[in-house]
Structure 1
Amino acid sequence: MPAEALAPFLEATVFLQVAPWNGNPFVKERPDAPMRTHTFGEGGAGMITYLIVEYRRLVEIIQVVWHG
């Protein structure tokens, strides 16, 4: 990940800790599914795909993509 993406990525990880359900559903037809996405960075240059494991109060990051 380039240096310019680090600060926005760290901000996004705080979002995942505080309000992970506020991300967009990975599959739009299943809005309550625990697989979510969240864009970050200027103009949405990055995207995190993650899974919420509610019973363990855990967020697993599946993939991070940066198009900067």
Structure 2
Amino acid sequence: MYTVGHGKQVDEPVAALPAEALAAFHEVTVFLQVAPWNGHPFMRERPDSPMRTRTFGEGGAGMVTYLIVEYRRLVEIIHVVWYA
């Protein structure tokens, strides 16, 4: 399992998520604990890059961008956005 963390820059977007998005965001954090490499590469040209994205919510209305630090078994969420 991986530890999931995030910096202060993520606190505000997470706090601004609508109520219907919170459960989906929690599901994404659980996914990141178990299988972070199953996210999509942030840059298609570098498919093995540790920087990844994952959508969440109904219709993929939210997206999380994260960095995998494999040697520490850490996933650092660096950006969260909600489009709806």
Q: TM-score, normalised by structure 1?
A: 0.98
Aligned residue in 1 for 2:48: 32
2:79 to 58, 63, 66: 63
Residue 22 (structure 1) shift: 0.1
Aligned residues: 68
1:53: Cα distance to partner? 0.1
Whole-Å separation in 2 of the counterparts to 1:23 and 1:12:
10
Is there any run of 5+ residues in structure 1 with no aligned partner, and where?
none
Runs of 5+ consecutive residues of structure 2 not aligned to the other structure: 1-16
Match of 2:35 in 1: 19
The TM-score, its normalising length taken from structure 2, stands at 0.79
Taking only aligned residues, the RMSD between alpha carbons, in angstroms, comes to: 0.5
